[in-house]
Amino acid sequence: MILNKNGSADRKIWEQAGYKLPEFDRAEIEKNTKENPFWIHFGAGNIFRAFQANVVQQLLNSRVLDRGLIVAEGYDYEIIEKMYLPHDSYSVLATFKADGSIEKSVIGSIMESLILDSDNEENYDRLKEIFGKGSLQMASFTITEKGYSLVNGKGEVLPAVKEDFKNGPGKPASYIGKVASLLYTRYLAGQKAIAMVSMDNCSHNGDKLYAAMNTFAEKWVENGLVEADFRTYVNDKSKVSFPWTMIDKITPRPDASVEDMLKKDGLQELEPVITSKNTYVAPFVNAEECEYLVIEDAFPNGRPELEKGGIMFTQRETVDKVEKMKVCTCLNPLHTALAVFGCLLGYDLISKEMKDETLKKLVEGIGYVEGLPVVVDPQILDPKEFIDTVVNVRIPNPFMPDTPQRIATDTSQKLAIRYGETIKAYAASDDLKVSDLKLIPLVFAGWIRYLMAVDDQGNAFTLSPDPLLSEVCPYVADVKLGEEADVQKVLKPILSNSKIFGVDLYEAGLADLVCGYFKEMTSGTGAVRKTLEKYV
């Protein structure tokens, strides 16, 4: 069993091994797609293969669609060169279900895989051709939040972006410059309409994409490199839209146990590749069963019936409510709590933590007791049912190889949104009191205890990557387990930092509580566990 066009031709072998296969004429769909593309996606990573490509496959199987996807990768070209092309853009999706079963599917809905590289004339000319087609309805993106940024951490314009501003759309070098160049191609082809749809997991993602596109349009117009009307085109919502979206599906790094399972089935050439940019990519993707994609219904060139594949279309205000529900209360805060305490208590899987009654009670309290009262119901998804699924189905799924160490990455960048917004909502409420919050401060204390890089048994461990480690870790560097410390003095620079928590915890009236928790957690080995059991 080899994963490519020829290898998947013998359906019987695959079906006997328990695989779901594409149920459409690939050659016909490929021809239709190349002649009249309707959807191109930028970002060839795991979530695209596990989510968008799977939705399109289902709709091709049911004959709702007669064309497939085109994917372009603009950050790590080796993903296309070493993984997509050798497998004719096929991949295997292993879906981990909460009942313990694993659904195995061969995904064949991607009809064309391209490199977003202006030096690769063949691929770049093809991308221009695609963007010139009237049939193209949307370009979507999963390129991570930082992919839309035109500046570095100091606010300085990136060198490649600066060169693109100066040189125009002819042969851009930056990612967004290349996308802007393709949009300019569409403008020249008759100002054809299109939806530019960010599907990245960040707040108001459409605005981030718009800001980047508009900046390029402004700079090119300002420098006399394109017609003044190009900027008008980018800002005309009847021609170019930038919808907001909310996406949610856990797709961890391809797991060795899944690779072993597929090999036992007889699948060959499964070896993962670590690219020169340190991307870990395999011919298979493992993912959870649950998935949500809510999109603002703003498609000036029309759109296919993707709602028949489970994608939800709604108003911008509703997308915002769903995003806040997920990020600020119903999922992400629970994940962060488990990440911090999972690292301290020696867990290697998030799912194992949910067998720990204390940690389970902690996240239930954060979600149901402290978070739910401030959720604005988006109507399209029920907040309580969403938390029910998170707590009872998604996080405890024993087959999901997701680790607290991965989720603990960049925690300092997450606390303000995941907890700070709830604190603000309590402060603004006539019925709720900030002083009623007991578990969110416990997570803050846990995170600061985590910064000591010593687990609950007194063993050193490696902190997950975080841009603020060099700033915050020195504050707790001299704190030792079992030794007295002036906790208020030690923690004040951290707790008063509203950029970290979204609020100054002294002004919010929560600093003393966090200090008290931290003092108990550092009283000796086993103190984190004791503190959790005491207050949860």
pLDDT at 401 over 80: no
pLDDT for residue 154:
81
Q: What is the pLDDT of residue 202?
A: 84
Nearest-angstrom CA–CA distance, 372 and 365:
10
| pLDDT range class, residue 6, cuts 50, 70, 90 | confident
Which residues have C-beta within 8 Å of that of residue 231, sequence separation ≥ 6?
214, 217, 218, 221
Q: pTM value?
A: 0.87
Of 226-230, 251-255, 374-378, 403-407, the one with minimum mean pLDDT is 251-255
Residue that has been written with the tokens 């300002």 in this structure: 222
Overall average pLDDT of the 354-363 stretch: 97
Position 264, amino acid: K
Please report the pLDDT score of residue 368 as a whole number. 96
What are the tens digits of pLDDT across the range 418-449? Answer: 999 999 999 999 999 999 999 999 999 999 99
Share of the chain above pLDDT 70, in %: 100
pLDDT digits (tens, 9 = 90+) for 109-135: 999 999 999 999 999 999 999 999 999
Region label for 202, one of left (φ > 0), alpha (ψ between -120 and 50) or beta (otherwise)? beta
Would the pLDDT of 256 be above 90?
Answer: no
- The mean of the pLDDT values for the chain is 94
Q: Is the pLDDT of residue 508 over 80?
A: yes
Indicate if the pLDDT at residue 519 is higher than 80: yes
Instruction: Give 181's pLDDT tier (boundaries 50, 70, 90).
Output: very high
143-158 pLDDT tens trace:
988 899 999 878 899 9
Contact 407, 333 (CB under 8 A): no
Question: According to the model, what pLDDT value does residue 188 have?
Answer: 98
pLDDT score for 155: 86
Contact between residue 482 and residue 403 where contact means Cβ atoms under 8 Å apart: no
Return the pLDDT at 398.
80
Res. 92 pLDDT band, cuts 50 70 90: very high
